[in-house]
């Protein structure tokens, strides 16, 4: 086949659409399910409040990002299933990722943020920023269907009271706040509030999938790609090996799995071009193990390096009894505290849609944490580990603490210490934003071509070195747009 794409998240979806439009047939191999078929309860996705097996990727116990309430664990046993959200245990950190046709777009908060140009120029100095900000960011935003909340509605609806409280206290401490664009359709959300359509964001749906309202990749890039008739997708197929084929091209070994994760068939195909778009962790693990096992021995030494968490750390504050955050909260965040230039913190004011008044302000902070880790192949287990250790997350806590200590002092409020464990204020044990592992212009050339292997490319979050300063998917999409344009022009 002409082109095989590993993974159907942002990098993979952009690659498929643009290759297809250039007349090239391509095939996407995706290890997760195709999330289009309802279960026996009539729902495609599980309930947010009490997720069943559909919520998690091959786990026998849920692993909720906000794991406790009043210090008591809310996790419970489930049966192993190829569910939508992977809380992948990489030693000292759980890396959350979407699994299914659409990758992270199935589970994320939809926050579609273009980073500050000055920071982008620092992290990816080899990329022409003019081109990115004039052509590829606009192209990504347009194709992703990014839209903005109506500020007047934001100011009046009960569903964003939690955000308004977050904005008020941040501003009173001298921090700027900013509206954050999203791929959730805010017109649909208004109709949800009016009671004229089925609720999704206003029914708490987000990290286990949205039945309505969200422009995830299956309705944007992948939908357009499918409409060309030149793209096919194999869900529940996992790539295990890529190696040069006899003659030309690459042999790709694939395991077909069932919905409980069992291998039902193994397959081998040959492709002229192979695009790694398995996400930062997925692509890094594949490349590091192919290099170590001698299948792709000439990959650059930079493969597996410069991985970071985007400085992610979660924290919650307790508001005063009169500062109600509302029992009704939209699951879609739409405001951030922008203290990046002053404090190295961009904090999303996150909802906690529990259906009851809890006086909680929850935040997911992105911090300027310079710590990086690397992936290593373990020859005794055949697996790939990550060197990240807990001490490396301390910098994220330190940066975020300056901001939230100041707010607490001004408001005379305290941190909640009952939501991430018993007596635990910071949740530094997870990331939603894994980045790096096959960094642009180091592990690859300046357009994602892997050194040493013509016809092998990296197209996903692995290209971005560890920290993009804001939520990452718009940058991953825009960079993929830029790289595939160059690859189509020169290599095909
Ligand atoms: P992505 O992870 O999207 O896709 C990779 C795909 O490859 C997956 O579908 C995976 O199953 C598949 N795969 C992996 N290994 C494979 C193999 N060996 N064979 C076959 N397939 C394989 N970002 C943002 O900008 N705004 C936001 O609001 C949020 N919110 C958010 C919430 C939550 C809960 C999560 C988990 C994440 C976010 N994110 C986010 C992060 C965002 O979703 C993430 O950065 C992108 O999805 C990464 O895009 P990629 O294309 O790199 O990989």
Domain membership of residue 323 (yes or no) is: yes
Separation CA 267–CA 281 (nearest Å): 23
Q: In the prediction, which pLDDT does 195 show?
A: 98
Q: Is the torsion defined by CA of 207, 309, 281, 466 positive or negative?
A: positive
Instruction: Please indicate, yes or no, if residue 402 is contained in any of the structural domains.
Output: yes
Tell me, using a 6 A CB cutoff, whether residue 437 lines ligand 1: no
Reading the block at residue 449, the tokens are 């071509």
Question: Residue 426: CB within 6 Å of ligand 1?
Answer: no
Residue in 61, 107, 105 with CA at minimum distance from that of residue 85: 107
Q: Is 376 contained in some domain?
A: yes
127 alpha carbon to ligand 1 midpoint, in Å? 23
- The domain of 329 spans 5-19+29-226+306-491
Rounded to the nearest whole angstrom, what is the distance from the C-alpha of residue 167 to the centroid of ligand 1?
Answer: 29
Q: Nearest C-alpha to atom 26 of ligand 1 is from which residue?
A: 111
| 341-387 confidence digits (pLDDT tens) | 999 999 999 999 989 999 999 999 999 999 999 999 999 999 999 99
Q: Kindly state whether residue 316 falls inside one of the protein's structural domains.
A: yes
Is the CB–ligand 1 distance for residue 96 below 6 Å?
yes
- Is 10 touching ligand 1 by the criterion CB < 6 Å? yes
- Residue 359, classified by CB atoms within 10 Å of its CB into exposed (0-12), middle (13-18) or buried (19+), is middle
The pLDDT of residue 293 is above 90: yes
The catalytic residues are 348, 433
- Six token digits for residue 79: 């049966």
261 domain residue, yes or no: no
200 is a domain residue: yes
Give the integer Cα–Cα distance in Å for 136 and 124: 14
The answer to whether residue 248 is domain-embedded is no
Q: For the domain that residue 416 is a member of, what is the CATH number?
A: 3.50.50.60
- Give distance in angstroms: CA of 460 to centre of ligand 1: 9
Ligand 1 in reach of 5 Cβ (< 6 A): no
Atom of ligand 1 nearest to the CA of 283: 15
Residue-level pLDDT at 69: 84
Q: Can you tell me the mean pLDDT for 186-212? A: 98
User: Does the Cβ of 110 fall within 6 Å of ligand 1?
Assistant: yes
**In this model, does residue 148 exceed pLDDT 90?**
yes
**63 CA distance to ligand 1 middle (Å):** 17
Mutate to test the pocket of ligand 1, among 278, 330, 364, 435 (most ligand atoms within 8 A of CB): 278
Residue 405 pLDDT exceeds 90: yes
What is the Å distance from ligand 1's center to 196 Cα?
32
In tens, the pLDDT along 77-106 reads 999 999 999 999 999 999 999 999 999 999
CA of 183 to the centre of ligand 1 (A): 15
Cα(377)–Cα(287) distance, integer angstroms: 10
Atom number in ligand 1 closest to CA 240: 18
The H-assigned helical ranges of 253-393 are 279-292, 340-343
Q: Which of 485, 199, 179 is nearest to 338 (CA)?
A: 179
Query: Could you give the number of structural domains in the chain?
Result: 1
Q: Is the shortest distance between the CB of 351 and ligand 1 below 6 Å? A: no
Regarding the beta carbon of 30 and ligand 1, being less than 6 Å apart is answered: yes
Kindly state whether residue 476 falls inside one of the protein's structural domains. yes
ipTM tops the 0.85 cut: yes
């Amino acid at each position: 086949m002409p082109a095989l794409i590993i993974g159907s998240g942002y990098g993979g979806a952009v690659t498929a659409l643009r290759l297809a439009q250039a007349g090239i047939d391509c095939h996407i191999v995706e290890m997760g399910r195709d999330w289009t078929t309802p279960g026996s309860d009539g729902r495609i996705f599980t309930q947010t409040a009490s997720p069943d097996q559909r919520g998690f990727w091959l786990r026998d116990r849920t692993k909720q990002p906000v794991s406790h309430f009043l210090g008591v664990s809310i996790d419970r046993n489930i049966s192993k299933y190829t569910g939508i959200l992977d809380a992948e245990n990489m030693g000292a950190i759980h890396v959350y990722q979407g699994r299914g046709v659409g990758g992270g777009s199935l589970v994320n908060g939809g926050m579609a943020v273009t980073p500050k140009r000055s920071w982008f120029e620092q992290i990816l100095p080899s990329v022409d920023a003019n081109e990115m900000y004039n052509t590829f960011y606009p192209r990504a935003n347009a194709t992703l269907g990014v839209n903005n909340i109506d500020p007047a509605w934001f100011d009046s609806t009960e569903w964003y009271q939690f955000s308004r409280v977050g904005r008020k206290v941040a501003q009173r401490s001298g921090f700027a706040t900013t509206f954050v664009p999203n791929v959730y359709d805010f017109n649909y959300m208004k109709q949800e509030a009016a009671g004229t359509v089925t609720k999704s964001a206003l029914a708490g749906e987000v990290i286990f999938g949205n039945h309505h309202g969200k422009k995830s990749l299956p309705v944007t890039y992948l939908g357009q790609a499918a409409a060309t008739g030149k793209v096919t997708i194999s869900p529940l197929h996992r790539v295990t090996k890529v190696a040069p084929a006899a003659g030309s091209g690459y042999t790709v070994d694939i395991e077909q799995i069932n919905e409980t994760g069992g291998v039902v068939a193994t397959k081998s195909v040959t492709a002229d071009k192979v695009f790694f778009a398995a996400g930062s962790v997925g692509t890094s693990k594949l490349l590091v193990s192919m290099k170590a096992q001698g299948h792709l021995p000439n990959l650059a030494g930079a493969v597996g390096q410069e991985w970071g968490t985007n400085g992610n750390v979660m924290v919650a504050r307790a508001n005063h009894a009169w500062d109600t955050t509302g029992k009704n909260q939209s699951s879609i965040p739409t405001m951030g505290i922008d203290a990046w230039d002053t404090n190295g913190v961009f904090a999303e004011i996150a909802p906690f849609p529990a259906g009851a008044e809890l006086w909680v302000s929850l935040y997911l902070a992105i911090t300027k944490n310079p710590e990086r880790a690397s992936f290593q192949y373990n020859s005794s287990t055949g697996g790939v580990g990550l060197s990240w250790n807990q001490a490396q997350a301390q910098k994220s806590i330190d940066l975020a603490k300056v901001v939230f200590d100041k707010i607490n002092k001004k408001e005379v409020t305290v941190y909640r210490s009952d939501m991430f464990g018993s007596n635990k204020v910071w949740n530094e044990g997870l990331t939603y934003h894994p980045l790096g592992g096959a960094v642009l212009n180091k592990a690859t050339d300046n357009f994602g071509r892997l050194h040493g292997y013509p016809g092998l490319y990296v197209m996903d979050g692995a290209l971005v070195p560890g920290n993009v300063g804001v939520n990452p998917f718009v940058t991953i999409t825009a960079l993929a747009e830029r790289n595939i344009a160059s690859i189509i022009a020169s290599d095909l």
